[in-house]
Amino acid sequence: MGTDQMSAVDTEVPSDALGRRVSCDGERATVRFVGTVPPTKGLWLGVEWDNPERGKHDGTHEGVQYFTCRHPNGGSFVRPKKASFGVDYVAAIRELSSTLEDHEENVDDEISMFVSRLKSLQVVSLTMKDVYGSSDSEDDIRAVTPDVRTLDLAANLLSSWDDVANITQHMEHLQQLLLSDNRLRLPSDPLAQHAFSSLKILSLQNCALTWPQLLQCAPMWPQLEELYVKNNDITQLQRPVGVLESLKLLDLSHNQLVEDSILSLSQLPRLEYLNLSKTGLSVLQFTDVPPGSKTAMFPVLNTLLLNHNNISEWCVVNELDKLPSLVELSFRYNPLLSREKNLQTADLLLVTRLSQLTTLNKSQLTREDRRGAELMYIKMFGEAWLQAGGHRDPEKSRPSMQFTSEHPRFHTLIHKYGAPEESELKKQQPFALKNQLLNITFVCPDEADRKPIIKKLPDSMLVQKVKGLLYRLLKVPGTQIQLSYTNSKIEGTEIEIDNDLKSLQFYSIEDGDTVLVRWA
């Protein structure tokens, strides 16, 4: 703060106001200027709002630049009396405890449990309580939070990591720290800061942080296992060197990432869960190995979230199959999916291309799910395989490099199920209802007197609706119908139809197949 500004400061404004966080009418901001703004009289605070839509300018008034903002309309001038610089941590804790005690006799069991837990002070939540930090002694902080494990300081008025450290350095058992919706200056000396040495979980969502800033802070978190940095200013990723080596979970969603830089994270030795949803991702390649092989990158990554991205090519999915430990994928709202006639077909293609997948979009995959998907895949692309040089005789099969690159698992599927017969191949036909109708014979093997029923049904029909139709046609008792089917091309095999919310197409039921109907 300049000399002229200092002379204008009165008792309403703290001496260290510049850079502090304030709350004005429920909105949070950072003080960028303290002083007079001619020709007006009196003291003003120039603030940069967390929400730039709250502002009016960039810190300029009548041609004079008093401060700068990240956004051209992110700043305002406010009178000190309209700005709150917040409350001390210990005062906030005592106020919260007092409020809960006043209501304790009238609360239900659930809230009583919360009150009891808060009194034990292992979990402390001070969200949106305008905490700015703490100037209290070590004894004061230990007195109100002697054994805290989880501390929630999201959406407060903390302005630096040193402010947070003044609180947490007296919490030797602290494992989970929530600091989302704060704006934190870098620590004065990250390597010397031991206030966060026991942290396992850290949330820094919507804190306007860049990746280099996070890496600068990372030495403070030697035991960190989960890091949530959704909706920050993260773009270009750099490789963490000597930091974040204990990290198991990383949430980078809602950051516009430079997609080539994602591989900078590939050597994190313990990373199991990675959220890249809504990051603008369109391409991901692991060039260290050819199609059909497993990459050395992301060695233990088992869960990957890629929702709301720009992925439009199946080659990206093929690349994902190179991940050696991937078993769970979330892939909603990508352009690739809209190409298929329905989402069920797209899901089947995803399951088939990813050999180890056990969970897709949070739905568990059964053995029958995978079998049905892989059989359908063979039929869908069998003709293209033959045209590319594939052959039912393995010794004569020479599919082109292009086909193998586009369908790296096809050879494995042929080895598993056998090559498709000519009658099994699905020809690409124009989209029309008549091309989707199947002649299906329904028989009741446990009821010899019942005649078979032949029906023409769309392959998109859900199993649930098929069962409803059978209840009406067969007039069976109100018990649970069980369905399975046989395929004339696969002798001696009866495939269970065990999911009411899947379609006939999902189970690769074809024109002329027989569905077996049983009930208790």
Beta strands 27-35 and 44-49: pairing type? antiparallel
The model scores a pTM over 0.85: no
Provide the total of helices (H) and of strands (E) in the chain, helices listed first.
Answer: 12, 24
Q: What is the pLDDT of residues 174-200, one digit of tens each?
A: 999 999 999 999 988 888 888 999 999
For tokens 């006043």, the residue is 102
Is the distance from CB of 268 to CB of 244 less than 8 angstroms?
yes
Backbone φ and ψ for 218, nearest 5 degrees, come out as -55, -30
Q: Looking at residue 490, what is its pLDDT?
A: 60
**DSSP state letter for 227:** E
Q: How far is CA 266 from the centre of its chain?
A: 18
Q: How far is CA 493 from the centre of its chain?
A: 40
Backbone φ and ψ for 455, nearest 5 degrees, come out as -130, 150
Is the peptide bond prior to 477 cis by the omega test (within 30 degrees of 0)? no
Query: Which is higher by pLDDT, 108 or 255?
Result: 255
**Residue 445: closest CA among 477, 484, 495, 496:** 484
Q: What is the pLDDT of residues 46-92, one digit of tens each?
A: 999 999 999 999 999 999 999 999 999 999 999 999 999 999 999 99
Residues 228, 202: Cα–Cα separation, whole Å? 6
Is the pLDDT reported for residue 107 higher than 50? no
Which are the contacts of 436, defined by CB distance < 8 A and separation ≥ 6? 458, 459, 460
Strand order from edge to edge, sheet including 437-443? 453-458, 437-443, 514-519, 481-487, 490-497
Which are the contacts of 174, defined by CB distance < 8 A and separation ≥ 6? 148, 149, 150, 151, 168, 196, 198, 199
Q: What is the pLDDT of residues 460-481, one digit of tens each?
A: 888 888 988 888 888 876 668 8
Residue by residue, what is the 3-state secondary structure of 486-506?
EECCEEEEEEEECCCCCECCC
| pLDDT-wise least confident of 140-144, 233-237, 252-256 | 140-144
Share of the chain above pLDDT 90, in %: 63
Q: What is the pLDDT of residues 410-429, one digit of tens each?
A: 999 999 998 877 766 655 44
For tokens 């000597």, the residue is 242
C-alpha distances out from residue 276 to 32, 229, 255, 273, Å: 34, 11, 8, 10
Q: Looking at residue 164, what is its pLDDT?
A: 95
Backbone φ and ψ for 412, nearest 5 degrees, come out as -60, -40
Residues 277, 229: Cα–Cα separation, whole Å? 12
459: which 2 tokens? 């392959």
Which domains, from first to last, does the chain contain? Answer: 3-82 (2.30.30.190), 87-321 (3.80.10.10), 368-424 (no CATH), 433-519 (3.10.20.90)
**Residue 426: closest CA among 371, 370, 386, 485:** 386
Indicate the angle between helix axes 410-417 and 367-387, nearest 10 degrees. Answer: 110
DSSP readout, 429-461?
A: --S-GGGGEEEEEEE-TT-TTSPPEEEEEETT-
Which range among 81-90, 108-117, 119-128, 184-193 has the greatest average pLDDT?
81-90
159: which 2 tokens? 């302005």
Residues 252, 234: Cα–Cα separation, whole Å? 8
Q: What is the pLDDT of residues 247-265, one digit of tens each?
A: 999 999 999 999 999 999 9
Is the distance from CB of 352 to CB of 413 less than 8 angstroms?
yes
SS3 465: helix
Query: Within 10 Å of residue 27's Cβ, how many Cβ atoms?
Result: 15
Is the pLDDT reported for residue 114 higher than 50? no
Residues 380, 396: Cα–Cα separation, whole Å? 21
Residues 76, 272: Cα–Cα separation, whole Å? 44
Is the distance from CB of 302 to CB of 326 less than 8 angstroms?
yes
407: which 2 tokens? 């369908």
Burial of residue 167, with CB atoms counted within 10 A of its CB: 0-12 exposed, 13-18 middle, 19 or more buried: buried
